[in-house]
A and B are shown apart, each in its own frame.
Chain A
Amino acid sequence: MSAILNIKVKILSRKEVAPNIYLIKLKAPEVAQEALPGQFIHIKCSKDNYPLLRRPLSIHRIDKEKGEIHILFQVVGEGTKLLSQRVIGDDLDIMGPTGNGFNIYPESRKIIIIGGGIGVAPLLALCEESKRQGKEVRVLIGAQKKELVIGEENFRKLGAKVDVATNDGSYKYKGLVTDLLERIIKEGWLADQVFACGPKLKLKKVVEISLDAHIDCQISLEERMACGIGACLGCVCKIKTKNKKENKVKYEFKRVCVDGPIFEGSEVVWDD
């Protein structure tokens, strides 16, 4: 993992790609050069000290050639709203690239990537890297309704086979994206790895299905975050680790910002 930078970068473009969902492109060669799929940047959303905390947002695409990173985010509160109002040419104060990133195993041949809602944000970079490594990739996108299905074409352009589920049935399969996962496993498309990002309940289900089918599963977690560099211990999640010597299960709180945000599905403890 490379060092986390704190730099000011230019906003190259800003576009509302779906209702309340924005794509921002940043000129950040230093970050693009080092960034891994699954990592995030910690963004100071406004020019002054409000809101008080930065917002952690996944890196959507890493364009090393152009020295750009793309950020895809949904407006969910004050911080993201202010960020969505920043204009082209503005300097954005960012920290990153942060976190561990997805771990694509060299021996994996087939990969399933699952995104629920805005959870697709870190997955385009992952899909791109997986294809670059010659993996066969299937992407499953879940959304509330048709307008909120994001990135379908972009995944397809990378050469992945894409299936979509909408809760209200307004586009493609009606139901949950996890139904699609169950279906393609049942059909015998045996992946070596599953990667997912999205709402907690959906991730929990993805982990259950994957582990039942004995497929290695990595998920990207989200938690309210303050420092974003591992100092404040605000953004933890509960992780179980097995001490092989004593055959004892141990629980600990790990930091989403620097120990994650990617965790093995099997080690995450889902309290309540």
Chain B
Amino acid sequence: MINKTCLKVEIAGIKLKNPVMTASGTFGYGQEYAPFIDLNRLGAMILKGITLKPKMGNPPPRIIETPSGMLNAIGLQNVGVEVLVKEKLPYLKKFNTPVIINISGDTIEEYVELAQKLGEVSKEMGIAGLEVNISCPNVKKGGMVWGTDAKATYKIVSSIRKTTSLPLVVKLTPNVTDIKTIAQAAEEAGADALSLINTLVGMVVDIDSRKPKLANISGGLSGPAVKPVALWLVWQVFQTVNIPVIGIGGIIKIEDALEFIIAGAQAIEIGTANFLNPKVTIEIIEGIQKYLIEKNIKDINELVGSMKI
């Protein structure tokens, strides 16, 4: 029996203490969770998706609970890159946890300008990398449009790649016919890692008013309901590409995280579960450690993609 294990992983050149990251949009700008957990213990923090200019977001109602999940249609409400850099990032500098900025835009030019701006201040503000959101289902322009077409994915990722040397994680949507072709396009365009899945598009109808329950009509499904879908897609992408895969989708307990890692995820992102339990990230880190000790596995990397078929 061993009593020490290594939880360290490396994603896109970013060294993580452990494989547990926070999913964009569920963790605010980090500070919101500081009363509940020690942010130093996280593998990495991925902040709320940012755009060049502040964004107002969609009208309410924006969320609705569904069986074992929830739909959201926030519409990328955010403070804009200027406020992010001036007011949000300084707080996070005192923690030794890598900060990854999730970026979005309406046009390629906006993504590029955003990546450039963040690249310029990355050293000073402690930005470890970018997660390129080409998978948001809740905005009219941009968002998922890029992530549902292999050519568009290649075009946008390669454009961002040319502007910045920051590690690039590309976040993929499950709302596609064949995720492998999108994953390949992102890899060929220079992505350092892929994260998946973003939410699945869905809808809920109020039978009394006969109106959709979300003002945006559709929203993105997340939570335990999507986990089997996410696992399957992670497994497929893991077999297709040579860059690290980050697993996201309905992770709410330790076993869920382990499933993703076994299916090929080098790291995982925890999203919706933060809402139910603000300490869930830490509980999962501790749980993974315990599992490794119990199974006599010295290094988490031995577990990654170790699924037996």
In the complex, what distance in Å separates the CA atom of A209 from the CA atom of B65? 35
Q: Would you call A199 an interface residue if the criterion is a C-beta within 8 Å of the partner chain's C-beta atoms?
A: no
From A44, A50, A229, A232, B72 is in contact (CB under 8 Å) with: A232
Looking at the assembled complex, report how far the CB atom of A181 sits from the nearest CB atom of chain B, in whole angstroms: 26
Name the residue on B nearest A95 (C-beta). Answer: B278
* In contact, A52 and B63 (Cβ under 8 angstroms): no
Find chain B residues with CB under 8 A from A95 CB: 278
From B27, B65, B74, B272, A51 is in contact (CB under 8 Å) with: B65
* In contact, B274 and A227 (Cβ under 8 angstroms): yes
| Of A233, A235, A236, most B-chain CB atoms within 10 Å | A233
Find chain A residues with CB under 8 A from B74 CB: 232-234
Q: Would you call A230 an interface residue if the criterion is a C-beta within 8 Å of the partner chain's C-beta atoms?
A: yes
- For window 53-78 of B, CB contacts with A under 8 Å fall at 56-57, 59-65, 68-70, 72, 74, 77
Interface residues of B (CB under 8 A from A): 25-28, 32-33, 35-36, 48, 56-57, 59-65, 68-70, 72, 74, 77, 223-224, 252-253, 272, 274-279
Closest 6 A/B residue pairs (Cβ): A231-B28, A234-B63, A231-B32, A226-B275, A227-B275, A3-B35
Looking at the assembled complex, report how far the CB atom of A78 sits from the nearest CB atom of chain B, in whole angstroms: 8
* In contact, B278 and A224 (Cβ under 8 angstroms): no
- Beyond A52-B69, A236-B60, 17 additional contacts (C-beta under 8 Å) are A3-B35, A6-B278, A51-B65, A52-B68, A52-B275, A223-B61, A224-B63, A226-B63, A226-B275, A227-B28, A227-B32, A230-B32, A232-B74, A233-B57, A236-B57, A251-B56, A253-B77
Find chain A residues with CB under 8 A from B57 CB: 233, 236, 253
Find chain A residues with CB under 8 A from B70 CB: 52-53, 226
Name the residue on A nearest B271 (C-beta). Answer: A232
Looking at the assembled complex, report how far the CB atom of A55 sits from the nearest CB atom of chain B, in whole angstroms: 10
Query: Main SS of chain A's interface residues?
Result: loop
In the complex, what distance in Å separates the CA atom of A252 from the CA atom of B77? 10
* In contact, B63 and A49 (Cβ under 8 angstroms): no
Chain A to chain B contacts (Cβ below 8 Å), 26 pairs: A3-B35, A6-B279, A44-B277, A49-B224, A49-B252, A50-B68, A52-B70, A52-B223, A52-B224, A53-B65, A225-B63, A226-B63, A227-B278, A228-B275, A229-B278, A232-B275, A233-B62, A233-B74, A234-B72, A235-B62, A236-B62, A236-B77, A238-B60, A253-B57, A253-B60, A253-B77
Find chain A residues with CB under 8 A from B48 CB: 231, 233
- For window 79-98 of A, CB contacts with B under 8 Å fall at 95
* In contact, A230 and B28 (Cβ under 8 angstroms): yes
In the complex, what distance in Å separates the CA atom of A190 from the CA atom of B253? 56
* In contact, B253 and A49 (Cβ under 8 angstroms): yes
* In contact, B28 and A271 (Cβ under 8 angstroms): no
* In contact, B279 and A253 (Cβ under 8 angstroms): no
Interface membership of chain A positions 9-52, coded 1 if the CB is closer than 8 angstroms to chain B and 0 otherwise: 00000000000000000000000000000000000100001111
In the complex, what distance in Å separates the CA atom of A10 from the CA atom of B28? 30
Find chain A residues with CB under 8 A from B272 CB: 52, 226
Find chain A residues with CB under 8 A from B252 CB: 49
In the complex, what distance in Å separates the CA atom of A152 from the CA atom of B294? 59
Find chain B residues with CB under 8 A from A3 CB: 35
* In contact, A224 and B64 (Cβ under 8 angstroms): yes
Find chain B residues with CB under 8 A from A231 CB: 26-28, 32-33, 48, 274
In the complex, what distance in Å separates the CA atom of A237 from the CA atom of B215? 12
Task: Given A44-B276, A53-B70, A54-B275, check contact A232 B26 (CB 8 Å).
Answer: yes
In the complex, what distance in Å separates the CA atom of A233 from the CA atom of B26? 9
Interface membership of chain A positions 227-265, coded 1 if the CB is closer than 8 angstroms to chain B and 0 otherwise: 111111111111000000000000111000000000000
* In contact, A226 and B278 (Cβ under 8 angstroms): no
Find chain A residues with CB under 8 A from B253 CB: 49
Q: Would you call A4 an interface residue if the criterion is a C-beta within 8 Å of the partner chain's C-beta atoms?
A: yes
Task: Given A53-B275, A229-B278, A231-B26, check contact A6 B36 (CB 8 Å).
Answer: yes
Looking at the assembled complex, report how far the CB atom of A31 sits from the nearest CB atom of chain B, in whole angstroms: 14
* In contact, B62 and A234 (Cβ under 8 angstroms): yes
In the complex, what distance in Å separates the CA atom of A261 from the CA atom of B304? 44
In the complex, what distance in Å separates the CA atom of A49 from the CA atom of B275? 11
In the complex, what distance in Å separates the CA atom of A237 from the CA atom of B62? 10
| Of B48, B63, B69, most A-chain CB atoms within 10 Å | B63
Looking at the assembled complex, report how far the CB atom of B270 sits from the nearest CB atom of chain A, in whole angstroms: 13
From B32, B64, B68, A229 is in contact (CB under 8 Å) with: B32
In the complex, what distance in Å separates the CA atom of A127 from the CA atom of B298? 61
In the complex, what distance in Å separates the CA atom of A226 from the CA atom of B28? 12
Find chain B residues with CB under 8 A from A227 CB: 26, 28, 32, 274-275, 278
Looking at the assembled complex, report how far the CB atom of B34 sits from the nearest CB atom of chain A, in whole angstroms: 9
Find chain B residues with CB under 8 A from A237 CB: 60
* In contact, A229 and B33 (Cβ under 8 angstroms): yes
In the complex, what distance in Å separates the CA atom of A6 from the CA atom of B77? 26
In the complex, what distance in Å separates the CA atom of A223 from the CA atom of B60? 8
| Of B59, B60, B77, B252, most A-chain CB atoms within 10 Å | B60
From A49, A223, A251, B276 is in contact (CB under 8 Å) with: A49
